[in-house]
Amino acid sequence: MNTPRDDVWFNSGSDRISAWLYRPEGNDHAPLLVMAHGLGAVRTMRLDAYAERFRAAGYACLVFDYRNFGDSEGAPRQLLDIRMQLQDWTAAVAYARTLPGIDPDRIGLWGTSFSGGHVIATAARLPGIAAVVSQCPFTDSIASLGAMNPLVSARITALATRDLVGARFGASPVMVPTAGNPGEIALMTAPDAYPGFLKLVPDGTELRNEVAARIGVKILPYRPGRLAAKVPCPILFCVCENDSVAPSGPTRRYAATAPRGEVKLYPEGHFEIYVGDAFERVIADQLEFLARVLPTG
């Protein structure tokens, strides 16, 4: 009898990536969804809720933490590097294709927030991806930075510059909070950001609410939504209409360029989609989409 979840490891670069592997019962040639979280977040922040529902519907899931985060190896800790995270996605897909009982030709990607952009970029450049779900995705750095308080943005830029200079001389990273209240210095400071971020943290769990500040500068060229036009497989964009972190307008425009793109809209903010009634609606839409484009049979 299959266990609901196993702890597994795979290599990315010189580090080991920690992951959960969910296997559905009664399916020895199952499609698999590779899954990871958003900006500074780890898999324990509600990704198990999604994976359990996908598993119940017949999908295997590989849910991983990026290098430098969570239970994965890598140093310095809390260093968010876009290039490395995209490499982690490539390594995860390669590992998934070697797993016994998994159909290597039916590998899908599921990403949310910052990883919602990563799955667009990964599907655009990695051959053979069967389907993509991109939830409340970060698609455009300019749009997201434009939604920030200019004074906060300026302070983050200063911290990022200090971090980059220090890194050249081997200094420890300068940290900046991932989420904070309005007016505080943090990467996400919309009114719903800090309480929404905390809602994702399991009771009794301590979470490092910080990342190396250099991402505040290095994020500028990253506009993964522009790659939607190059995603050949079916891709579902689950867009929050009142998204204060990843504005919906640019995402909807990018989604319209995807050859096999579909869009579902939700009248919620960025963090509401993970819990409660909004979660139930989004997971139902994702399962309906997957049943059509990546059937389990």
Rg (CA), the chain: 18
The whole-number pLDDT of residue 206 equals 83
Question: Is pLDDT of 3 > 70?
Answer: no
The confidence band for 191, taking pLDDT boundaries of 50, 70 and 90, is very high
- Percentage above 90 pLDDT, the chain: 90
Region for 72 from its dihedrals, namely left if φ exceeds 0, alpha if ψ lies in -120 to 50, beta otherwise: beta
The confidence band for 205, taking pLDDT boundaries of 50, 70 and 90, is confident
- Summarize the confidence of residues 50-68 as an average pLDDT: 97
> Of 170, 173, 153, nearest to 162 (Cα)?
173
**For residues 31 and 60, is the Cβ–Cβ distance under 8 A?**
yes
- Summarize the confidence of residues 62-78 as an average pLDDT: 97
Question: What single-letter DSSP state applies at residue 225?
Answer: G
The secondary structure of 231-289 as a DSSP string is --S-EEEEEETT-SSS-HHHHHHHHTTSTTEEEEEESS-TTGGGSHHHHHHHHHHHHHH
Alpha-carbon distance values, 141 to 96, 186, 272, 275 (Å): 30, 16, 21, 26
Phi/psi for 81 (5° steps) reads -120, 115
Per-residue pLDDT tens digits for 226-261: 999 999 999 999 999 999 899 999 999 999 999 999
Per-residue pLDDT tens digits for 9-44: 999 999 999 999 999 988 789 999 999 999 999 999
Per-residue pLDDT tens digits for 252-285: 999 999 999 999 999 999 999 999 999 999 999 9
Query: Please, what's the b/e burial string for 241-275 (b: 16 or more CB within 10 A of its CB; e: otherwise)?
Result: eebbbbbbebbbebbeebeebbbbebebbbbbbbe
CA-CA-CA-CA dihedral for 284, 285, 287, 288, to nearest 10: 110
Residue of higher predicted confidence among 245 and 62: 62
Domains located in the chain, CATH noted: 6-140+223-293 (3.40.50.1820)
- State the first-to-last Cα distance of the chain, in angstroms, to the nearest integer: 19
Q: Mean pLDDT highest for which of 2-11, 68-77, 196-205?
A: 68-77
The confidence band for 146, taking pLDDT boundaries of 50, 70 and 90, is confident
Burial of 199 (0-12, 13-18, 19+ CB in 10 A): middle
248: tokens are 């919906």
**For residues 261 and 253, is the Cβ–Cβ distance under 8 A?**
no
Q: Could you give the CA distance from residue 73 to residue 65 in angstroms, rounded to a whole number? A: 9
Confidence (pTM)? 0.96
Q: Could you give the CA distance from residue 214 to residue 83 in angstroms, rounded to a whole number? A: 13
Helices (H) and strands (E) in the chain, counts: 9, 10
> Of 296, 275, 261, 278, nearest to 119 (Cα)?
261
The whole-number pLDDT of residue 159 equals 96
**For residues 178 and 211, is the Cβ–Cβ distance under 8 A?**
yes
